Amino acid sequence: MKNRKKKYQNLIANHFREHSSIYLFIIVLFLMGVIFGAVVVNSLTLTQKENLYYYLSQFFSQVSNGKVADSKDLFIQSFSHNSKFIGLMWLLGISIIGLPVILILLFIKGMVVGFTVGFLVNQMGWHGFLLSFVSVLPQNIIVIPIFIISATLSVAFSFKMIRQQFIKRMGEPILPLFARYTFLLIIAFLFLAVSAGVEAYVSPVLMKSIIKMVEAVIIPAAI
């Protein structure tokens, strides 16, 4: 049992060591997306901010009154959305021309996170930070590492495909690599299911409790 555990630990350590440069690049790219998304908030006009805040306030009012979508529907929607994202990355990873698109998708994901948090904080200050903490953070603690790992695996596999295609150098057969690549995609789907469960069943409860605390600030803006 200990030997098997040590074997898995060594495999994981070797994986991160082998792909450390790709991980570093992917993480920096994602953080750049987050920063860019937060900066975009400041470039919005006053009318755009007021319109977004109005719809956001309406949504928070619905959460406060328990009128949000059914948890099962939220679970399906979240899992479907993130699975399509990861599935597209996997598909792009097995195509030679998909490499830049993988990087663009990850940057966009970071930009969405940065914009969401930045807008809440920009419009609501400390209350916005609390709301982003309970509405964005819980599921993204799982989703963001999965996206980063999936993007790294897709980029690494794409590089191997390119080397096989153009350099014509003998190396590890592509079929075992593809099998491992696909297996890790399935593992990612399992984690996405956990994330969807958090987003559907945990985040709404946390959001409702926070909104109740600050509804004196939110509700008047929605009227």
Rounded mean pLDDT of 10-26?
A: 84
> Which range, of 87-101, 154-168, 178-192, averages the lowest pLDDT?
154-168
Rounded mean pLDDT of 23-36?
A: 94
The yes-or-no verdict on residue 216 having pLDDT over 60 is: no
Are 22 and 152 a contacting pair, CB within 8 Å? yes
Q: Check residue 1 and report its DSSP letter.
A: -
Higher per-residue confidence, 128 vs 81: 81
Domain definitions of the chain by residue range: 2-222
pLDDT in the model for residue 221? 46
CA distances from 205 to 66, 148, 192, 200, 217 (A): 10, 28, 20, 9, 19
Q: Is 150 exposed, middle or buried (0-12, 13-18, 19+ CB in 10 A)?
A: buried
Distance CA 17, CA 23 (A): 10
DSSP string of 142-173, one letter each residue: HHHHHHHHHHHHHHHHHHHHHIIIII----S-
DSSP string of 112-140, one letter each residue: HHHHHHHHHHHHHTHHHHHHHHHHTHHHH
The yes-or-no verdict on residue 24 having pLDDT over 90 is: yes
pLDDT in the model for residue 26? 94
pLDDT band of 68, cuts 50, 70, 90: low
The set of residues, in sequence order, having a beta carbon less than 8 Å from that of 173 and lying 6+ positions away, is: none
Are 208 and 135 a contacting pair, CB within 8 Å? no
pLDDT band of 53, cuts 50, 70, 90: confident
> Which range, of 47-56, 147-156, 189-198, averages the lowest pLDDT?
47-56
Rounded mean pLDDT of 19-23?
A: 89
pLDDT in the model for residue 62? 66
Sequence-separated contacts (24+) of 136-145 with Cβ below 8 Å:
138/198, 138/199, 138/202, 138/203, 138/206, 139/78, 139/195, 139/196, 139/198, 139/199, 139/203, 140/113, 140/195, 142/191, 142/192, 142/194, 142/195, 142/198, 143/82, 143/192, 143/195, 144/30, 144/109, 144/113
> Which range, of 21-25, 92-96, 107-111, averages the lowest pLDDT?
92-96
Quote the pTM value: 0.82
Distance CA 205, CA 169 (A): 55
Residue identified by tokens 């479907």 is 80
